Structure 1
Amino acid sequence: MRDIPARIRTNTLPDPAPVPKGLDTRIHVTLPHLRGLEGPARGLHFLPRQPARSVLNGRHTSRLRGRGLNFEELRDYMPADDVRSIDWKVTARTGKPYVRVFTEERDRPTLIVVDQRMSMFFGSVLNMKSVTAAECAALAAFAILEQGDRVGGIVFGDDLRAEIKPARSRAALNRFLSALASANQLLRPEAPTVPPQSINQVLGAVARIAPRNHLVIVLSDFDVIDDQTRKLVRGLSRHNDLILGLVTDPFADNLPPDAKLVITDGVLQAAVDMSDSQVHRDLTEFAKRRVAEIVDWQRQFGISVLPLTSAEDSLVQMRRLMGLGRR
């Protein structure tokens, strides 16, 4: 399991092993299933011009800044040049006017970060949260490659992290989907218990790979966040376009008031009596506080938050959130 990141970097990762016939794709995704989302992804895009009802729009304009500019050269000022392009420091130093010439980036790198930790291996209505995150990641990856931009990603589990450098190529997309399917199929009730990798470690890796002018999409339930998470999100949002796909399950919003639950990490287990009103209230408020804090980052940092749920078809909700009709 631990050699997955190295095999991705060296492009030696084979397709995930064949899965049993009739595998329930609400629980685990397969590489063919993810590849099959290419057609449905058409119509989705992550360009600055968004439909009016898209959550990627701000109050007046798109939250997405689009492709940046690359500095090309300094040259002598010509009468037809825009005076705003004059480099006044160079002009003052040399005694003659110079202008800075820029060219628009031909494409823009996108990094899709997908959480496949054990906290995501839960679902009470339709999909596991891990499946919803994987499907939405695949839809976004196909849409971004289709619009001509570079796409790569980070797939992380409790004790693995695979990094795929953004590239405008089908090979990079296939490596990303293969890593995603492999990590997803490692999620099983009998999986060995290990200390989970923190979201802060992953966001630190994102800052290293995408220092500026990237589109960064993070799909996670954001299990266990703290002040450091907030600082990392704020730092990423200053120099990149940041979209947080917050994946939730309705069970957390409607905890049964009379249930007796057994919670386990695979080794230890604890009984939780939800008929105790204080226990029920504490757990409900804990779940709501985490969601409210992440949604509030949208206001604080000017980022976009996609509220994704494991209780609804991934394509349907992605199209709705991006202001598109049902297909």
Structure 2
Amino acid sequence: MVGSSMRKAELPEASIPGVYVSVPELMALEHKAAGLTFLPRRTSRSVLSGRHTSRMRGRGLNFEEIRDYLPGDDIRNLDWKVTLRLGKPHVRTYTEERDRPALFVIDQRMPMFFGSRLALKSVAAAQVAALGAWMVLHAGDRVGAMVFNDHEIRHIRPHRSRSRVEALCRAVADMNRALAAGSPVHAEYSQLDRALERALQAAHHDHFVCIVSDFAGMSERTDQLLRELRVHNDLVAVLVFDPLARSAVGDGQLVVTEGTLQVEVNLNERQVREPLESFFAGRLQHVAAMLRRSDVPLLAIDSGEPVIEQIRRLLGRRVPLVK
């Protein structure tokens, strides 16, 4: 499935399930984000658990004061130097940093306009970004974005408000609904690096940066930019992939189109099926390996499954979710 060949002007206000998204649809994901967080906690399903914990800072702590020890205080906060000097227990108290701007880098290029089951990658990426924005806003932090397609990069500066989440959703929906099967594909894929360069300029330090993409065209330059982003920020990569990348392509007839010409592929023929399986699986493994080399925590999202269910599994949840 490559989606619809309708132009943006012909699209109705409502989304076409699996092919296009709308602002109301993305805004309605707010209640789905209840209980989900990117912040570190002890659940093994959190993106920050296990081997990722040491790589992600989460929010920091600001020193507040040294005061007398009170029953119930954590003894790990005892200040032994002051305690010994004054002859009675004293503790150091801290307050949690409440402001950690989030910047979502959201890919809506033509390579994302592909899907073999349930939804196109562009739709899955839009849903991930909207859910993430709501999660950040619910945590009390500012939400911003760098939304890009093959021709444009739109910067939405971080702000703590529902209107800023709506601006993010609108930018994503606009670019998503401009995609069409007849649009040209830019073979050099350089827009990904341009978007990361803009993100590096915007996120100087202490940001949470979440890149939602299929990472088509990832290069040594991409790797370098990811490493630079990680120096002073928390970084998570959400790799959106089609189910063809990790399972057999099946059998029967497959019709492939780029908007004008159509080709019917016979998947019953081994010499046709095996190269396709190798191509999709090999590309996914290559991108995942490069992201691991960049030391970036990775969330893999299958566009052939409901996004919210995958996010719940990957991040865990703190309270019962609203149905």
Is 1:121 aligned to residue 127 of structure 2?
A: no
**In structure 2, distance between residues paired with 1:61 and 1:263:** 43
Q: Percent of aligned pairs with the same residue?
A: 42
Deviation by residue 1:51-70 (Cα, 9 ceiling, x = unmatched): 22223313383643123478
**1:321 counterpart SS class:** helix
What is the 5 A alignment of 1:54-93? 54-59=46-51, 61=53, 63-68=55-60
Identify the residue that residue 43 of structure 2 maps to in structure 1: 51
**In structure 2, distance between residues paired with 1:275 and 1:18:** 37
Deviation at 1:210, TM superposition (A): 1.2
Identify the residue that residue 235 of structure 1 maps to in structure 2: 228
Aligned AA (1:285): S
Is 1:110 aligned to residue 99 of structure 2?
A: no
Deviation at 1:50, TM superposition (A): 4.9
Identify the residue that residue 193 of structure 1 maps to in structure 2: 184
Aligned AA (1:306): L
Instruction: Choose from 24, 30, 36 the match for 2:28.
Output: 36
TM, length-normalised to structure 1: 0.75
Aligned AA (1:248): F
Instruction: Choose from 249, 253, 261 the match for 1:255.
Output: 249
Deviation by residue 1:180-237 (Cα, 9 ceiling, x = unmatched): 11111111224x4263553111111111111322111111111112222222222222
Structure 2: segments with no counterpart, 5+ residues: 1-7, 64-78, 82-93
Alignment check: 8 A CA contact 1:297 1:303 kept: no
Is 1:148 aligned to residue 159 of structure 2?
A: no
**1:51 counterpart SS class:** coil
Identify the residue that residue 221 of structure 1 maps to in structure 2: 214
**In structure 1, distance between residues paired with 2:13 and 2:206:** 43
User: CA 1:18–1:269 in 2, change beyond 3 Å: closer, same or farther?
Assistant: closer
Alignment check: 8 A CA contact 2:147 2:172 kept: yes
Number of equivalent positions: 285
**In structure 2, distance between residues paired with 1:50 and 1:151:** 25
Alignment check: 8 A CA contact 2:144 2:158 kept: yes
Alignment check: 8 A CA contact 2:38 2:315 kept: no
TM, length-normalised to structure 2: 0.75
**1:175 counterpart SS class:** helix
Deviation at 1:302, TM superposition (A): 3.5
Aligned AA (1:255): V
Aligned AA (1:176): L
Taking only aligned residues, the RMSD between alpha carbons, in angstroms, comes to 3.4
**In structure 2, distance between residues paired with 1:279 and 1:234:** 38
**In structure 2, distance between residues paired with 1:60 and 1:158:** 32
Identify the residue that residue 206 of structure 1 maps to in structure 2: 199
Alignment check: 8 A CA contact 1:159 1:194 kept: no
